[in-house]
Structure 1
Amino acid sequence: MHLQGNIFVVTGGASGLGHQVVKSIVEQDGYAIIMDINATGANKAVQSLGSDKVYSSGSVDVTSEEQVQRAIKGGLSYFNSNNKDKESVPSLLLAGAVLCSGIVLSPQKIQGYGPDKHLTSYSQFKHVLSVNLLGTYNVAQQVAQTIIENNKPLDEDGERGIIITTSSMLGLDGTLVGYGTSKAGIAGMTLPLARELASFGIRVMSIAPGPFETPMKNVLPGANPPVSLFPKRHGYPHEFSDLVLQIITNPMLNGSVIRLDGGLRG
């Protein structure tokens, strides 16, 4: 699949790994629909990367079916109404999604339990899973539905689209009850979802990164994430987006979780 001339949803596109993915899509002459709860950051991304290639409908809660649906429809309508090559390219299609949004902790108002309330309460667990796991599936399902309804096969293999999710090494290695479980769930649904969507020509892949140089690295108070086995540093956002581009363009990558952690294990 090519990025050029195709539209991709990017959740968490206002900052961090998601923002770098949006930049890479634009550099490849693709189009990006940003879904992010941070409307200010999303609008800044549109302004800096160009409103001809990037769209945001404002603040989008990925756990809301209505907000996600509105963002997808709004982005498709926006890009096609501004398509200067309508004669040669009748309609720009939604070709996939790169799902990077997520939270590590629940809001401070949702308290834990046990000594000093440091243990994960049901309310905290439920909130993190709702955003990370259910939010990821909500967007993935609606993107898949849009592709199935609108897209014809893009190549001789019959490929119509791709969904790339973001798991975490913490989900694979069993760290942090809420966050780790939500990311393990994302990894766990990769192959079943790929099997479910295979007959429609939609691939599903997941990336499980280690610590990267993004704002999320500093979310846990006092935490000092370890560096990779080699190279002995944290990952750079462009290394994540480089892998995203490789997954999109390589049709044999399907149904798998790729660790992107430089050999680091929890």
Structure 2
Amino acid sequence: MKTESQTFIVTGGASGLGEATTRELVSRGANVVIADLNEEAGAALAKELGESVRFVRCDVTSGEQVQAAVETSEKEFGGLAGSVNCAGIAIVQKLLDRDNNPADLDKFNKGVQINLTGSFNVARLVASSIAKRVATEGGPNNEDQGIIINTASIAAFDGQVGQASYSSSKSGVVGMMLPLARELTRHGIRVMTIAPGIFATPMMAGLPEKAQEQLKASVPYPKRLGDPTEFAKLVAHIIENAYLNADVIRLDGAIRMT
């Protein structure tokens, strides 16, 4: 699939990996609907990038709000080619605290709702939009019609202490990829997952400098944090390479968390 003149929803598209993805796709001639909770950042980015970008305030766990982003894509740009789901949160809590009190179940559920259920919610509504468009055009005819790219994490495979919610929700993102991809083949829609390692995002910037340096040192090569533009370039390649389907790509500098 060519990126140029296609339309994509990027959730979490106002900052971090999502912002880099928005910028990369626009630079390649695509239209982007930024679906993000940060109204100030999202509106500012849309204004900066011009007429090929729209911003919709969106909670990925809300069917109504994600559908509003889908309908904005259809109305403003004539239809959807896919989505890149970068919205997510990191919940950190141990199963038991120092006094052996149990973890907060609501916090655990919040991580699962946003990271896993939110990814499914976006996928179902985007896939529906693409499938309906394909049906009106006479079917996929073995041509690439759409792409859904979800963001997991290396925590899906190398979960750390305190990452039960984050690791399990990201594992779920990986786990649902194959059944979704198999189902959507008849519509010419591919499903892929990226599992990024340690990236220089606003979430990482909030850590103490000493902790950041330790994380950098733990990456085998290149010994640094990942640049969000590297994630964005991989997104663009996945879109344009029609033989990539139903797989997860680790983007992590060969790190394996102990």
- List alignment gaps of at least 5 residues for structure 2: none
Q: Supply the RMSD in Å over aligned alpha carbons.
A: 2.3
Deviates more, 1:39-48 or 1:210-219: 210-219
Correspondence for 1:98: 84
Q: Shift in Å at residue 218 of structure 1? A: 3.7
Task: Please say if residues 139 and 187 of structure 2, whose CA atoms lie closer than 8 Å, have aligned partners that are also in contact.
Answer: no
- List alignment gaps of at least 5 residues for structure 1: 80-91
Structure 1 stretches of 4+ with a deviation exceeding 4 A read 110-113, 116-119, 153-156, 219-223
What code does the residue aligned with 1:22 have?
T
CA distance in 1, matches of 2:138, 2:86: 26
Cα deviation code 1:122-141 (max 9, x no counterpart): 11110110011001110011
Counterpart pick for 2:250 among 243, 248, 259: 259
CA distance in 2, matches of 1:30, 1:153: 24
Correspondence for 1:54: 53
CA distance in 2, matches of 1:264, 1:94: 35
Give the TM-score of the pair, scaled to structure 1.
0.87
Task: Please say if residues 181 and 246 of structure 2, whose CA atoms lie closer than 8 Å, have aligned partners that are also in contact.
Answer: yes
What code does the residue aligned with 1:11 have?
T
Cα deviation code 1:238-266 (max 9, x no counterpart): 11011111100111100000000010011
Q: Following superposition of structure 1 onto structure 2, how do residues 219-230 of structure 1 map, counting pairs within 5 Å?
A: 219=206, 223-224=211-212, 226-227=215-216, 228-230=219-221
SS at match of 2:223: coil
CA distance in 2, matches of 1:144, 1:263: 32
Correspondence for 2:133: 150
Counterpart pick for 1:200 among 172, 178, 187: 187
Correspondence for 1:124: 107
Query: Percent of counterpart pairs with the same letter?
Result: 42
Q: Shift in Å at residue 157 of structure 1? A: 2.9
Task: Please say if residues 111 and 124 of structure 1, whose CA atoms lie closer than 8 Å, have aligned partners that are also in contact.
Answer: no
Correspondence for 1:73: 71
Cα 1:125–1:150 shift into 2, 3 Å? same
Task: Please say if residues 83 and 149 of structure 2, whose CA atoms lie closer than 8 Å, have aligned partners that are also in contact.
Answer: yes
Task: Please say if residues 111 and 121 of structure 1, whose CA atoms lie closer than 8 Å, have aligned partners that are also in contact.
Answer: no
Deviates more, 1:161-170 or 1:186-195: 186-195
Q: Shift in Å at residue 174 of structure 1? A: 2.1
Q: Following superposition of structure 1 onto structure 2, how do residues 1-266 of structure 1 map, counting pairs within 5 Å?
A: 1-50=1-50, 52-57=51-56, 59-79=57-77, 92-105=78-91, 114-115=97-98, 120-151=103-134, 152=137, 157-175=142-160, 176-219=163-206, 223-224=211-212, 226-227=215-216, 228-266=219-257
Task: Please say if residues 4 and 28 of structure 1, whose CA atoms lie closer than 8 Å, have aligned partners that are also in contact.
Answer: yes
SS at match of 2:81: strand
CA distance in 1, matches of 2:54, 2:20: 15
Cα 1:223–1:185 shift into 2, 3 Å? farther
Task: Please say if residues 12 and 102 of structure 1, whose CA atoms lie closer than 8 Å, have aligned partners that are also in contact.
Answer: yes
CA distance in 1, matches of 2:17, 2:100: 31
CA distance in 2, matches of 1:172, 1:189: 15
CA distance in 2, matches of 1:40, 1:29: 24
Give the TM-score of the pair, scaled to structure 2.
0.89
Task: Please say if residues 73 and 80 of structure 2, whose CA atoms lie closer than 8 Å, have aligned partners that are also in contact.
Answer: no
CA distance in 2, matches of 1:154, 1:2: 18
Cα 1:247–1:154 shift into 2, 3 Å? farther
Task: Please say if residues 140 and 188 of structure 2, whose CA atoms lie closer than 8 Å, have aligned partners that are also in contact.
Answer: no
CA distance in 2, matches of 1:199, 1:45: 36
Task: Please say if residues 112 and 124 of structure 1, whose CA atoms lie closer than 8 Å, have aligned partners that are also in contact.
Answer: no
| Pairs aligned (count) | 249
Q: Shift in Å at residue 70 of structure 1? A: 1.2
